Chain A
Amino acid sequence: MAFLRNNFRLLRAARTAGLAGCFVLGACLSYGQTTNSCLDCHSAMPDPLGVTQEKFSQDIHSQKGLTCTSCHGGDASSYDPTVSMGTKAGFKGKIDRKQVPQLCASCHSNPTYMKQYNPSLRTDQLDQYHTSMHGKRQAAGDTKAAVCVDCHSVHDIRPPSDPRSTVNPVNIATTCSRCHSDAAYMKPYGIPTDQFANYKTSVHYQAMMVRGDLSAPTCTTCHGNHGATPPGVDKVQNVCANCHVFQAQMYGKSSHFKAFQSLGLPGCVVCHSNHGIHQPSDAMLGTGPQGVCMRCHQPGDKCDLARVKIQSGLMKLDSSITNADQTLSVAEASGMDVSEARLAQTQARDELIKARVTIHTYQEALVDQDVQAGLKIAAKDEQAGKDAMVERNQRRIGLGICFLAIAIMLAGLWLFIRKIEH
């Protein structure tokens, strides 16, 4: 027992010694590093002046070895405020908003310097910024216009690839909305503040946030980032064409293109709107509340007739695909395998998607080509489903024949038993 207790005491002593060792080692290590006297005080300060080690360590600049003094000047090795924050050490204090772009650009516009960290990073942000609405306003002395830190944050600037970054694709819209959805803030500029609300209802937002497709467009995809500015009324289709190549090609050759140009109408946006672009539907070709054609066209004119034909063609294909799907589901539910027709159904759906793209030629004959191709496939699939149902009925007839044979056999057996047991 005593031996055990002694042993125990020994263990405890060893542990204490170990802990102490660690502590001393830690202290030595931190001494070995460059002292950062800034954080010692500022991490204890309230918010505008407060920056903790924890926060700053998230910053890409901190990770790449830059410190407080890289931007703010001063001498972080001294604990004497008059030295560390003295003019002699080049202390700049709070960076004025007007100076921010220049300060960031002092490194970011220097290709030689930036190459040391990320050779593929562009160095034209400041030039771009000067062309942007934000940059122009700022140059005109508007202190409310966004500068670098408004979007990129200040002491915890993360690279855009970090999902927590304010400029990561999934966060950009929220970042922009901090100012652009603030009606009071935007009041002097007389621009709408519903862009973010509209964008949230759009198919692009769905693609980004629900499907998680990071290549889906957000604010900067259309407006640019450092050179952020609206694309310009007559150039909208060029912006959309970056992704929607086909639609843009067709639209570019169509009668609408010239008409919209001469009327000064904003291309794609005329029908699809801008920030709140919803999933297009065949109803857009209709005359209902979602219909867009009749906003300009007259009922009964040549285009209205073509519209009716195009819409009915699309709806016909859509409904025949749905019908074929239903027939196949019924066949499947009764246990028939129609996987081959199911596979072909995807091709019919392809044709429908294609036809909906071809609408942008506004030529009834071209849309009809796709519709007919789809209808042919859907009809075949429908037939396959019906054939499966016929096959199912044949199985039941076969079963009936088998039942009859079994009934005869049972009758024979029963009569035979009666005979031998009489």
Chain B
Amino acid sequence: MSGDQYTPQGSTRRRAIEYFLGGGILATFASFLYPIIRYMVPPPVADLGVNEVVAGKVGDLKPNSGAIFRFGSSPGLLILSSDGTYQALSATCTHLGCTVQYRGDLHQVWCPCHNGIYGIDGRNISGPPPKPLTAYDVHLRGDEIVVTNKRGA
């Protein structure tokens, strides 16, 4: 084998091969391991699990007010009513799909697009909405307000 002979050409060739092999191994492993290590570091955003979403913290909402939160790929509306109970609804109006909001002065859920009114439980009360808003379950876990799909739904 000529590579093993200690001729000047042989040794430079051998070194070139070593550089290629060593460099290749290092470079490929770096390029394979870099994404893997980045992958294993947990991302800052907690998961998107949609059956269960933390809609906020206790104390974020004043009584008789509401806030929009992300429920999977659609908006949800969390309401803290004046008597201190939480209620979560789908925030997509059943009329033309606008995002509804809670109106403290009406004590009702209101769609700004065509003045659709829903009750605090999601019932369509007046205006164009043809169907009630979907209601979700709300529980408290520590100081987190957890919203889940209704059981069996």
Contacts and interface: CB of A to CB of B under 8 A. Distances in A.
Per the CB under 8 Å rule, do A and B touch in the complex?
Answer: yes
Interface of A: 213-215, 243-246, 339, 342-343, 346-347, 349-350, 353-354, 357, 398, 401-402, 404-406, 408-413, 415-416, 419-420, 422
B58 interface: no
A346 B93 CA distance: 11
Interface string B120-140: 000000011010000000000
A408 B99 CA distance: 55
A419 B3 contact: yes
A402 B33 CA distance: 11
A354 B99 CA distance: 11
Given A342-B73, A343-B70, A343-B75, A408 B23 contact: yes
13 contacts: A243-B114, A243-B128, A246-B115, A343-B73, A350-B113, A405-B24, A408-B24, A408-B28, A409-B21, A412-B24, A419-B17, A422-B1, A422-B2
Given A214-B130, A246-B114, A402-B32, 20 more contacts: A243-B128, A342-B73, A343-B73, A346-B99, A349-B98, A350-B112, A401-B31, A404-B27, A405-B30, A406-B24, A406-B28, A409-B27, A412-B17, A412-B21, A413-B21, A415-B17, A415-B20, A416-B20, A419-B14, A420-B1
Contacts of A401: 31
Contact of B20 (A404, A406, A411): A411
Interface string B6-23: 000000011011011111
B98 to A, nearest CB: 4
A214 to B, nearest CB: 8
B130 A213 contact: yes
Contacts of A357: 113-114
Interface residues of B, number: 36
A350 B24 contact: no
Contact of A411 (B24, B114, B127, B130): B24
A347 B99 contact: yes
B31 to A, nearest CB: 4
Contacts of B30: 405
A416 B18 CA distance: 8
A245 B28 CA distance: 66
A349 B112 CA distance: 12
Contact of A350 (B3, B99, B128): B99
B113 A354 contact: yes
A309 to B, nearest CB: 22
B110 to A, nearest CB: 11
Contacts of A354: 98, 112-113
Contact of B98 (A213, A353, A409): A353
Nearest to A408: B24
Contact of A245 (B21, B73, B127): B127
Nearest to B26: A405
B32 to A, nearest CB: 8
B31 A346 contact: no
A106 to B, nearest CB: 36
A357 B113 CA distance: 7
A29 to B, nearest CB: 44
Interface in B81-118: 92, 96-99, 112-115
B97 to A, nearest CB: 7
Contacts of B128: 215, 243
Contacts of B17: 412, 415-416, 419
B21 A350 contact: no
A416 B14 CA distance: 9
Given A343-B74, A419-B1, A408 B20 contact: yes
Contacts of A214: 130
A322 B96 CA distance: 18
A408 B75 CA distance: 50
Contacts of B23: 408, 412
